[in-house]
Amino acid sequence: MKTKAIYPGSFDPITFGHLDLLKRSCKIFDDITIAVVVNPHKKPLCSVEERLAMIKKATRGYGCIKIDKFDGLLVDYAKKINATVVIRGLRAIADFEYEFQMALVNRSLNKKLDMVYMMPSVEYTYLSSSIVRELASLHGDISRFVPESVEKLLKEKFKNV
């Protein structure tokens, strides 16, 4: 039986860090759903539709991937699509404490769900979507961090700022 995995996140926007993790994950799992979190309390830079479109473009050719969005609890979404693994990234040490807490809370809510943590290439360990948004807002060069289509969209968003 195939193991179904979810890679959840805001992806606001998708970066080479996310893609690095996905490439690694595709070697382990053959059914991965990238699930964009729709959080009504957060005001994202890119709409859900923009994020889904950017992900679709950036992951063209990755055979193992599906793309979806969800709101509410991750454990409920996992049940709905019959996923048993959640993929998360670990950068430097900043991610550890939060992820540790989330993993144990999620496990207490759904014992069948396991979290798998992946580490990116060293050049992406400091990369986050928020740094990319900040750089783009100050008209900095983000081409090293995101695919071309993402760079274009962000440039457009900040062109009059």
- Shortest reach from residue 118's CB to ligand ADP, in Å: 7
Q: What is the DSSP string of 96-138?
A: HHHHHHHHHHHHHH-TT-EEEEE---GGGTT--HHHHHHHHHT
Q: Is 111 a catalytic residue?
A: no
- Shortest reach from residue 157's CB to ligand ADP, in Å: 17
Q: Is 107 a catalytic residue?
A: no
> Within 61-120, which residues bind ligand ADP (CB under 6 A)?
88-89, 91, 95, 120
**Which CB atom, from 81 or from 115, has the smaller least distance to ligand ADP?**
115
Instruction: Tell me how many helices (H) and strands (E) the chain has.
Output: 6, 5
- How many CB atoms are located within 10 Å of the residue 56 CB? 14
Q: Which stretch binds ligand ADP (CB under 6 A): 8-16, 58-66, 134-142, 149-157?
A: 8-16
Distance of alpha carbon 141 from alpha carbon 145, whole angstroms = 9
Q: Catalytic one among 2, 41, 42, 111?
A: 42
Choose which of 21, 35, 132, 150 interacts with ligand ADP (CB under 6 A): 21
Q: Is 139 a catalytic residue?
A: no
148 backbone dihedrals φ, ψ, rounded to 5°: -55, -40
